[in-house]
Amino acid sequence: MYGFPFKHIAIKVRTVFALVVRRIQRMIWGINHTIHREWLDRFVFHESGQGVVEFEHMQIGVDWQLVQTRSGNLFVLVRGNGTTELGQPDLQIMPFVGESPKKLLAHDDRWSTRVTLRDWVRSAHPKATDEGWLTISADNAERARKDAVATTHRFALTNLVLSEVFDVDQQCAGTRLSWRSVDDYENAAAELRTLHRHAITATLTIAKADQAQASAIADIACELASYSRGCRVSWAYVEGLDAEGSVVSLFIGNPISGPYVPLVLIGAEAMWPFIEQTWQPYARFRSENRASARRLLGLLTNATTDDDFTELRGAKLGMTIDAVVTIVTGNKIDALPFQSNAARREFVERFRVFVATELPPLLKEDLTNDAKDALARAIGAKAGDILRPTFRNAIKQVCQAISINVSDTEIKQFAHSRNQLIHEARFVCQMDAPPEDWPFKTAAEEYFWMLRFLDRIVLRFIGYRGAFFDRFLRDHSEVPVEPE
């Protein structure tokens, strides 16, 4: 006996509702749009073809367009092409019935393409006319030419700007690195300084056949270039090249990128010796503390972006020095004036026992035992703060560990600025009554002094011993070489 077909009716109602919602959202959002030429100019990579989008229990045939934005984000635009098996639903309703795409697969006579997808998103071009395209964010994309093998890998680099066109070969850790500015370098660099803030300006070719090994080397190269240029240099995608120089593979991810900032730290000619000098110590540090290395670079480059308030940028410098302290000392700051950290811990435990035993009898008699115990625990919990090493001591120990000469006055000034920014979101010079002997009169002056202080420490820590630009004076004068 057949019951009333509630399930089938529910499916039809959901489908109709989804179509109505889709129509409304298309009018409000403009979720599906054409790819006009002026839109393509916004991307650093574009490819198109036909394939299928995989869902949990089905595949739908699509036309697809793979694009990567200037800031590194990867998207796929898809549109049903009528090649889906009979009985499969319309692609257009999939975002509205809870079906998330998993993969995009495509094959032709020469190339195979595989894109790992995330989820549906709003269209990246709200002004384009509606032609049925849906937009999906993606984690990565891989393309490979059949019956071909890569012998080297070429990385497309963002935001690497030098004083002029460049073509440089160097050896780092026994591997040849070839840096080349792109053909339209002058225009790309000019737009980068004034308009887009993200652009492909160079390529880095690494003589490694294995893509994973080449990518690891490219990561180190980009991070060192970032320190040199004073802003985030990233690789947007990598092409595998065969022995004849033809592209036979492609990998696109979602790189950690940032806007271009003209706050150069190492001069153009000195950049190449800088990379060679710091490669070994930085690679060693990165292999042991990859997360810390990436965090340190991220904090420093975020602290120099010019689209934040100066106070926020200063607070980020304070967070950066905190990270340096943690990385260099491992939070094992000498527990002065105690003989050792073990002696300090013993004192803290004895103090807590003393408070728990001696405090309750001295409290008011009308307090309950539970209240007295709670007060004893609260006071005992503060025992760890007694004679805790100061932030100044932490910075001093960092400077001693990396053998850099910094005066007590400089450390005191930096700590004062950092504490004001972290706790009150303002510089010392912005206090109602700043110290009479405070040397900085404006927030910008205080910020750039903090930046120079941090530059000295960070460059020394990653193994650099040469001169660098004084970002406090901002006149391209150099800070002298630090003595050993």
- Any idea which residue has 């008699």 for tokens? 365
Buried b (16+ CB within 10 A) or exposed e, 316-345: bbbbbbebbbebbbeeebbbeebeeeeebe
Nearest to 443 by CA among 315, 322, 323, 296: 315
**Are 476 and 266 within 8 A, CB to CB?**
no
Side chain identity, residue 167: D
For 73, phi then psi, to 5°, come to -75, 140
- Any idea which residue has 């004192």 for tokens? 347
Question: pLDDT tens, position by position, for the chain (484 residues)?
Answer: 445 454 445 444 554 554 454 444 444 333 333 444 444 456 777 888 999 999 988 888 999 989 888 778 889 988 888 766 655 677 877 877 778 899 999 998 889 999 999 998 876 555 443 567 888 999 999 999 988 899 999 999 988 999 889 999 999 988 999 999 999 888 888 877 776 677 889 999 999 999 999 999 999 999 999 999 998 999 999 999 999 999 999 999 877 777 888 889 999 889 999 999 999 999 999 998 888 898 999 999 989 887 778 999 999 999 999 899 888 877 555 555 677 778 878 888 888 888 888 888 888 888 888 888 888 888 888 777 666 667 888 898 899 888 888 999 999 999 999 999 999 999 999 999 999 999 999 999 999 999 999 999 999 999 998 889 999 988 878 887 776 6
What Cα–Cα distance (Å) separates residue 358 from each residue in 86, 344, 362, 370? 83, 21, 7, 15
Asked if omega into 361 is within 30° of 0 (cis), the reply is no
pLDDT at 85: 62
Side chain identity, residue 288: E
Q: Rounded to an integer, what distance in angstroms lies between the CA atom of residue 304 and that of residue 451? A: 8
State how beta strands 234-241 and 247-252 pair. antiparallel
pLDDT at 455: 94
Intra-chain end-to-end CA distance of the chain, in Å: 92
- Any idea which residue has 């739908």 for tokens? 60
Side chain identity, residue 388: R
**Are 97 and 116 within 8 A, CB to CB?**
no
Please classify residue 173 by burial: count the beta carbons closer than 10 Å to its beta carbon, then call 0-12 exposed, 13-18 middle and 19+ buried.
exposed
Measured in residues, the chain has a length of 484
**Are 199 and 44 within 8 A, CB to CB?**
yes
> Would you state the structure tokens that stand for residue 422, as one six-digit string?
């972290």
pLDDT at 121: 84
Side chain identity, residue 179: W
Nearest to 458 by CA among 332, 334, 272, 325: 325
Identify the three-state secondary structure at position 378.
helix
Q: How many degrees, rounded to 5, is the angle at CA 269 between CA 263 and CA 270?
A: 75
pLDDT at 179: 97
Torsion of CA 5, 9, 10, 15, to 10 degrees: 150
- DSSP 8-state code for residue 340: -
**Are 62 and 115 within 8 A, CB to CB?**
no
Q: Rounded to an integer, what distance in angstroms lies between the CA atom of residue 224 and that of residue 349? A: 45
Q: How many degrees, rounded to 5, is the angle at CA 286 between CA 284 and CA 287?
A: 65
Nearest to 426 by CA among 438, 442, 411: 442
